[in-house]
């Protein structure tokens, strides 16, 4: 963690340094916004609150707007400052991370939309217990990811990337259960499909969080760990998992 | 003492030079003798400078060596200053340690921020409530507390009211966050766990809502029977008056319950239920018509609509706020008193005011007006048939529309209630 931030703070040009810091602040602000969107969309789903769901759909533009403006700022920094080494890595990783954050925002929007549709239908007996559980897991994962991003903590990022398999398992379980429910009661198919879509969106959010974690490792260590197993990376980076 | 030491130095130096000159006269080459003596003196001084330097740099704490004359004095002085500084440092350290211990023992999470909002210090509770660890020193606070409400709160720099936030560590834990600026740009962030208080508050609100709701149905039955009894011709004359009184009282009870329900509904969420443009001119006309329809009165209700602007908000809520204001004006002024409803806008925003020429409000009652069931004159107000909740409803509605209520009044001359809506709420 310290390595990355020190490189950021000990820069020869103070203004450049401030520009990078501003980008970092905006990036995390965007992260906070996405976190809130996810939190609200899940609440709308579980409580059957269609108004809140619509609110989430409506507020997605804020996330998109931030993405565009951060993207512009990054291009400007590249064009004017020609950053090198860790600064370049930082800017590149930010550009990639905002894409993932924006996608997470889209998935939250999708959940919001589905929840306002589901709110008009009969609620299942278990009151979305599994989705609630999966949602909590994904929310924690996103929170930890953004914390790792703030602290440039590669170790934590790798740990989170490993946790993603739990989310995948949970999604699998929900899918199997949904199939059983649909076979038992074909009238529920529409509702269960919508629920399944929401679960799918959560699973995708987990994947995007993992992508951001990879960008964090890249930022901190300059190591590209995409499409490489986590254990291998940990061994190379000398990190104990 | 220092003066005498220095004169001693000069006397000694002069004596040494004198002896050297004497020796030169006796043995020849007086210049050589003087040079030799001065060189010796210089060497002695250099030696002490060297020793002082060594002592200052390497032998901290040990007592300086004894030396004659002014050097001894310098050593002693240095030693004294050093001792003094060391004592002071010790005392400061102890103070600092105690301060840190006491802030660590605080039940609230506390984080010290510098002018750039970077964390410079935090106590252990901050880890538990805010997830800020020891390693986060130098980290920006808004990088870790990313909630949009918090970022807004931090940016606006208006900390007169605490911010409520869910803990980033555990969403079920509710926090009240306060920021106290101090020193040069430093800020102290305090986060208090208010989960229990919030839950109790919620239970209280739910209770009021549920109780009012449950009271409503039996009351409807009772007042239904009373209504038919009142018009029943077979009822003996002696029962007429008590039954009429019962009808009046049950109507009062019903309006009380309605107001309580309205209030608990308003309290359930902090912002207006809708954000549509509301036509204030139409609303003002409607309120005036309803007030005239409610009972015969000689005084005019004047409308002064000077603005075309509307308000973005919930129409039903705004209606009940304006209606309560006008109702109060009618209630507290003589039947022939003039009431004025005015809607205007300027650079600050929109202003909706209701002015009456009634009894007025004593100054000491003004701050408590919007409290529930607060009454200026206990007996008299109840006789006029108010529920005591009207202005509480007005306050809540205005809060939900980012507006504020201003009351000016003069005893015996009348009062003016003005709702100030911010520019951002106006719809052209």
ipTM of the modeled complex: 0.74
Q: Do B148 and A1 touch (CB under 8 A)?
A: no
Strand pairing category for B301-305 and B339-346: parallel
B140 touches chain A (CB under 8 A): yes
Is the pLDDT at A220 greater than 50, yes or no?
yes
Residue-by-residue DSSP string for B100-138: HHHHHT-SSEEEEE-TTSBEEEE-HHHHHHH---GGGTT
What is the model's pLDDT at position A1? 41
Phi, psi values for residue A126, rounded to 5° = -85, 5
Specify whether B395 is located in the same domain as B288: yes
Percent of chain A with pLDDT over 70: 87
Q: Indicate which of A1, A22, A66, A147 best probes the interface with B, i.e. most B CBs within 10 Å of its own CB.
A: A147
Residue A106 in contact with residue A60, Cβ under 8 Å?
yes
Residue B166's CATH number: 3.30.450.20
A137 touches chain B (CB under 8 A): no
What is the model's pLDDT at position B399? 87
- CA-based nearest residue to A55, from A32, A39, A31: A39
Specify whether B282 is located in the same domain as B417: yes
Residues of A in contact with B274 (CB under 8 A): none
Q: Do A150 and B143 touch (CB under 8 A)?
A: yes
Q: Do B136 and A31 touch (CB under 8 A)?
A: no
Choosing from B168, B193, B218, the residue where a domain stops is B193
What is the model's pLDDT at position B60? 59
Which residues are registered as beta bridge partners of B345? B350
Distances (CA, A) of B110 to A123, B121, B136, B193: 43, 8, 14, 12
Tell me the residue range of the domain where B45 lies.
2-100
Q: Do B147 and A31 touch (CB under 8 A)?
A: no
For the question of whether the overall pTM of this predicted structure is more than 0.90, the answer is no
Domain boundaries, chain A: 2-237
Choosing from B169, B193, B217, the residue where a domain stops is B193
Which residue is listed with tokens 């306002």?
Answer: A116
Specify whether B353 is located in the same domain as B368: yes
Is the pLDDT at A3 greater than 90, yes or no?
no
Q: Do B168 and A32 touch (CB under 8 A)?
A: no
B221 touches chain A (CB under 8 A): no
Distance from CA of B173 to the nearest CA of A (A): 15
Query: Where does B269-305 have alpha helices with state H?
Result: 280-294
Distance of CA A163 to the CA centre of its chain: 13
Fold type of domain A2-237: Methane Monooxygenase Hydroxylase; Chain G, domain 1 (1.20.58)
SS3 A74: helix
Q: Kindly state the tokens that stand for B72.
A: 């001894």
pLDDT, tens digit only, all 428 positions of chain B: 456 778 888 888 888 888 888 888 888 888 888 888 889 989 988 988 888 888 777 765 566 666 777 787 888 888 888 889 999 999 999 998 888 788 777 888 888 888 888 888 888 888 888 888 888 888 888 888 888 888 888 888 888 888 888 888 887 888 888 888 888 888 888 888 888 888 888 888 888 888 888 888 899 999 899 989 888 888 888 888 889 888 888 888 888 888 888 888 887 776 666 778 888 888 888 888 888 887 777 778 888 888 888 888 888 888 889 988 988 888 888 888 888 999 988 888 889 999 988 888 888 888 888 888 787 776 665 566 677 788 888 988 888 888 889 988 888 888 899 999 988 888 87
Q: Do B139 and A25 touch (CB under 8 A)?
A: no
SS3 B87: helix
What is the model's pLDDT at position B87? 92
Average pLDDT, chain A: 83
Q: Kindly state the tokens that stand for B54.
A: 């060594």
Q: How many residues can be counted in chain B?
A: 428
Distances (CA, A) of B326 to B303, B331, B339, B358: 12, 9, 8, 12
The CA distance from A66 to A31, in Å, is 10
Specify whether B385 is located in the same domain as B299: yes
> Based on the structure, what is the number of domains in chain B?
4
Specify whether B149 is located in the same domain as B203: no
Residues of B in contact with A39 (CB under 8 A): 171
Tens of pLDDT, residue by residue over A116-168, are 888 887 777 666 788 888 888 898 899 999 888 888 888 888 888 888 888 89
What is the model's pLDDT at position B378? 67
Measured from the Cβ of residue B131, the count of other Cβ atoms closer than 10 Å reads 18
B118 touches chain A (CB under 8 A): no
The CA distance from A224 to A221, in Å, is 9
Angle in degrees, CA B182, B184, B189, rounded to 5: 40
Specify whether B71 is located in the same domain as B212: no
Residue B329's CATH number: 3.30.565.10
What is the model's pLDDT at position B74? 82
Is the pLDDT at A63 greater than 80, yes or no?
yes
Q: How confident is the model at residue A240 (pLDDT cuts 50, 70, 90)?
A: low
Residue-by-residue DSSP string for A62-121: HHHHHHHHHHHHHHHHHHHH---HHHHHHHHHHHHHHHHHHHHHHHHHHHHHHHHHHTTS
Specify whether B334 is located in the same domain as B423: yes
Specify whether B398 is located in the same domain as B370: yes
* DSSP H/E element including B350: strand B349-355
Distance from CA of B291 to the nearest CA of A (A): 34
Q: Kindly state the tokens that stand for A16.
A: 């450049």
Which residue is listed with tokens 């003004």?
Answer: B366
B255 contact partners, CB below 8 Å, separation of at least 6? B387
Choosing from B100, B128, B161, the residue where a domain stops is B100
Specify whether B27 is located in the same domain as B52: yes
Q: Do B143 and A1 touch (CB under 8 A)?
A: no
Q: How confident is the model at residue A107 (pLDDT cuts 50, 70, 90)?
A: very high
Q: Tell me how many helices (H) and strands (E) chain B has.
A: 12, 13
């Amino acid at each position: 963690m310290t390595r990355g931030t020190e490189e950021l703070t000990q820069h020869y040009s103070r203004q450049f340094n401030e520009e990078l810091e501003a980008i970092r602040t905006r990036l995390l602000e965007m992260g906070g916004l996405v976190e809130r969107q996810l939190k609200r969309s899940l609440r709308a789903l579980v409580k059957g609150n269609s108004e809140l769901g619509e609110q989430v759909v409506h507020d997605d533009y804020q996330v998109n707007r931030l993405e565009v403006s951060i993207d512009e700022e990054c291009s400007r920094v590249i064009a004017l400052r020609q950053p090198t080494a860790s600064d370049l890595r930082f800017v590149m990783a930010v550009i990639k991370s905002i894409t993932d954050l924006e996608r997470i925002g889209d998935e939250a929007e999708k959940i919001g939309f589905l929840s306002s549709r589901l709110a008009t239908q009969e609620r299942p007996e278990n009151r979305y217990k599994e989705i609630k559980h999966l949602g909590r897991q994904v929310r924690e994962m996103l929170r930890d990811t953004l914390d790792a991003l703030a602290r440039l903590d590669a170790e934590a990022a790798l740990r989170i990337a490993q946790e993603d398999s739990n989310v995948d398992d949970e999604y699998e379980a929900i899918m199997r259960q949904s199939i059983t429910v649909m076979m038992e009661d074909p009238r529920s198919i529409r509702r269960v499909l919508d629920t399944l879509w929401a679960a799918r969106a959560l699973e995708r959010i987990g994947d995007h969080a993992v992508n951001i974690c990879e960008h964090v490792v890249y930022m901190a260590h300059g190591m590209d760990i995409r499409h490489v197993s986590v254990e291998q990376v940990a061994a190379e980076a000398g990190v104990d998992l | 003492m220092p003066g005498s030491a220095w004169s001693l130095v000069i006397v000694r130096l002069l004596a040494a030079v004198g002896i050297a000159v004497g020796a030169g006269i006796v043995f020849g080459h007086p210049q050589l003798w003087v040079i030799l003596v001065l060189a010796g003196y210089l060497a002695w001084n250099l030696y002490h400078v060297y020793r002082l330097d060594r002592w200052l740099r390497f032998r901290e704490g040990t007592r300086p060596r004894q030396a004659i004359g002014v050097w001894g004095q310098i050593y002693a002085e240095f030693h004294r200053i050093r001792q003094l500084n060391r004592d002071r440092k010790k005392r400061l350290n102890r103070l600092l340690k105690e301060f840190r211990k006491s802030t660590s023992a605080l039940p609230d999470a506390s984080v010290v921020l510098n002018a750039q909002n970077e964390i410079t210090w935090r106590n252990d509770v901050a880890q538990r409530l805010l997830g800020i660890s020891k390693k986060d020193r130098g980290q920006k606070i808004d990088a870790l507390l990313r909630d949009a409400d918090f970022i807004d709160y931090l940016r606006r720099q208006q900390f007169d009211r605490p911010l409520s936030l869910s803990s980033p560590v555990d969403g079920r834990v509710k926090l009240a966050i306060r920021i106290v600026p101090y020193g040069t740009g430093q800020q102290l962030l305090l986060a208090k766990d208010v989960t229990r208080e919030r839950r109790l508050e919620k239970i209280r609100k739910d209770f009021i809502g549920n109780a009012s709701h449950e009271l409503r149905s039996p009351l409807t039955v009772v007042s239904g029977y009373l209504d038919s009894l009142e018009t029943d011709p077979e009822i003996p004359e002696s029962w007429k008056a008590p039954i009429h009184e019962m009808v009046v009282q049950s109507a009062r009870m019903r309006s009380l319950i309605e107001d309580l329900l309205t209030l608990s509904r308003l309290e359930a969420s902090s912002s207006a239920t809708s954000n549509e443009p509301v036509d204030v001119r139409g609303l003002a006309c409607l309120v005036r018509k309803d007030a005239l329809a409610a009972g015969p009165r000689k005084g005019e209700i004047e409308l002064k609509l000077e603005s075309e602007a509307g308000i973005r908000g919930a129409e039903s809520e705004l209606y009940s706020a304006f209606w309560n204001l006008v109702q109060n004006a009618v209630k507290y002024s003589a039947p022939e008193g003039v009431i004025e409803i005015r809607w205007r806008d300027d650079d600050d925003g929109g202003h909706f005011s209701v002015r009456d020429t009634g009894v007025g409000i004593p100054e000491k009652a003004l701050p408590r007006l919007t409290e529930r069931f607060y009454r200026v004159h206990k007996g008299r107000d109840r006789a006029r048939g108010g529920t005591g909740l009207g202005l509480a409803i007005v306050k809540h509605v205005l809060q939900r529309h980012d507006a504020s209520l201003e009351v000016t009044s003069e005893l015996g001359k009348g009062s003016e209630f003005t709702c100030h809506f911010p520019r951002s709420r106006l719809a052209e």
